[in-house]
Amino acid sequence: MRSIVSILRVLALFAFATGFAASVSAQTAPLVMKIGTATINDSQHQWMKIYAAQVEKGSNGRIKVELYPASQLGAIPRMIEGTQFGSIQAFVGPPEFLSGVDSRFEVLSAPGLFKDFPHANRTLQDPEFNSAFLALGANKGLKGIGLFLSGPASINTRTPVHKLSELEGKKIRVLASALQMDQMRKLKATPVPMSLGEVVPAMQQGALDGSMGSTPVFTALRFYDAAKYILETNHAIVSVLTVISKSWYDKLPADLQKVVSDAGQKASTEVYQWSFDFVEFQRQAWIKAGGELIQQTPAEHAQLMKLMLPIGAEVTSKKPEEKALYELLQKAAKRTE
């Protein structure tokens, strides 16, 4: 009888020890933060790498960041929805993709606001504008934590374009925002909103004549296989926003919330020089791959800017909240000249 009691005691102690160990293991297991983006080997991907290092260091390993470039977590709309509902923790991409969530996300597509790449960066990091822009989407399950640059806007085409008149009638892929679509309409081209993964096949098949975006992205995704010409218009900038799941963020302890937010701002500052250098690196890579870069004449560029400059005010005037944010952006651009 005593031996049976002893055995039961040993079993009870073992069960307790096993349960306690499992409990401790569960408590110490790091939180997983999945971050998705549509591109790879560009400024979006680089920002993710910098951010992951910052978070894992700042959290002392309590958060494990997993990076999923090249749409591994699905197409852009699915990643945005996943972030809203908390199935993934963050999405990195041009804010215009979020214009369906809140139309104000499109304001950074407004052309003609920036003198050059450094001026655009100073404007994006202007505390007043940056804070207001990152706050968009809070009522739709999203929290902005980072805003940075991809590169100057350009137009990639299947056939060479030297004059604006040569864009007339062409089908050009744009992001799904009124500000980008109106830019093509002003040039008498047809704007075609389309997900990034569909663009190269569409150009190869002749369903598209070109795409508006930035050279670093065009090169990283080998657009030269379908369309080897880039008209360097430099009429606007392509920016990138990182949003995280607000429901996930709200459940974090206060110290980890600070780590997650602060790392977003630090990564956005740190990635700037890398992005700046990467633009020229990718320009040269485009040429080495057999692509061609076309610069506008001063007269052509002046004509382009004359057409583009009114678009921001025209589009945003239709919605008071969007108009207010656009005006805030204009003031920030003026302050940071």
Domains (ranges, CATH) in the chain?
A: 29-335 (3.40.190.170)
**Average pLDDT of 165-190?**
96
Say how far apart CA 173 and CA 210 lie, in whole Å: 6
**Average pLDDT of 11-39?**
63
In the block, tokens 């020229």 appear at: 280
pTM of this prediction? 0.88
Q: Is 106's pLDDT higher than 90? A: yes
pLDDT (0 to 100) of residue 197: 87
pLDDT one-digit tens code per residue, 208-232: 999 999 999 999 999 999 999 999 9
Say how far apart CA 212 and CA 156 lie, in whole Å: 6
Residue 9 confidence class, pLDDT cut points 50, 70, 90:
low
Say how far apart CA 206 and CA 203 lie, in whole Å: 5
Two structure tokens written together for 114: 């920036």
**Average pLDDT of 79-98?**
97
Q: Is 2's pLDDT higher than 60? A: no
**What is the phi/psi pair of residue 225, to 5°?**
-70, -25
Residue 16 confidence class, pLDDT cut points 50, 70, 90:
very low
Quick one: residue 326, left, alpha or beta (phi over 0 = left, psi -120 to 50 = alpha)? alpha
**What is the phi/psi pair of residue 59, to 5°?**
-95, 0
Q: Is 181's pLDDT higher than 60? A: yes
Q: Is 55's pLDDT higher than 80? A: yes
Say how far apart CA 149 and CA 294 lie, in whole Å: 22
3-state secondary structure of 136: coil
**Average pLDDT of 66-71?**
97
**What is the phi/psi pair of residue 251, to 5°?**
-85, -10
CB 102 within 8 A of CB 302: no
CA distances from 154 to 100, 196, 295, 321 (A): 24, 16, 10, 28
Contacts 24+ apart (CB under 8 A), 74-81: 74/36, 75/38, 75/195, 75/197, 76/38, 76/195, 76/196, 77/195, 79/36, 79/37, 79/38, 80/243
Question: Number of H helices and number of E strands within the chain?
Answer: 13, 10
Say how far apart CA 316 and CA 327 lie, in whole Å: 9
Residue 23 confidence class, pLDDT cut points 50, 70, 90:
very low
pLDDT (0 to 100) of residue 102: 97
Say how far apart CA 199 and CA 256 lie, in whole Å: 39
Q: Regarding predicted confidence, which is higher, 80 or 28?
A: 80
pLDDT one-digit tens code per residue, 274-311: 999 999 999 999 999 999 999 999 999 999 999 999 99
Q: Regarding predicted confidence, which is higher, 214 or 27?
A: 214
CB 143 within 8 A of CB 249: yes
pLDDT (0 to 100) of residue 195: 87
Q: Is 140's pLDDT higher than 50? A: yes
Q: With CA atoms as reference, report the closest residue to 324 among 114, 104, 130, 94.
A: 104
The secondary structure element, H or E, covering residue 26 is helix 2-28
Percent of the chain scored above 90 by pLDDT?
90
**What is the phi/psi pair of residue 188, to 5°?**
65, 25
Which string of DSSP letters, residue by residue, matches 205-254?
TTS-SEEEEEHHHHHHTTGGGT--EEEE--SSEEEEEEEEEHHHHHTS-H
Two structure tokens written together for 138: 């809070």
Mean pLDDT of the chain: 92
pLDDT (0 to 100) of residue 1: 46
pLDDT (0 to 100) of residue 176: 87
**Average pLDDT of 126-139?**
98
Q: Is 59's pLDDT higher than 50? A: yes
Say how far apart CA 109 and CA 183 lie, in whole Å: 9
Q: Regarding predicted confidence, which is higher, 289 or 196?
A: 289
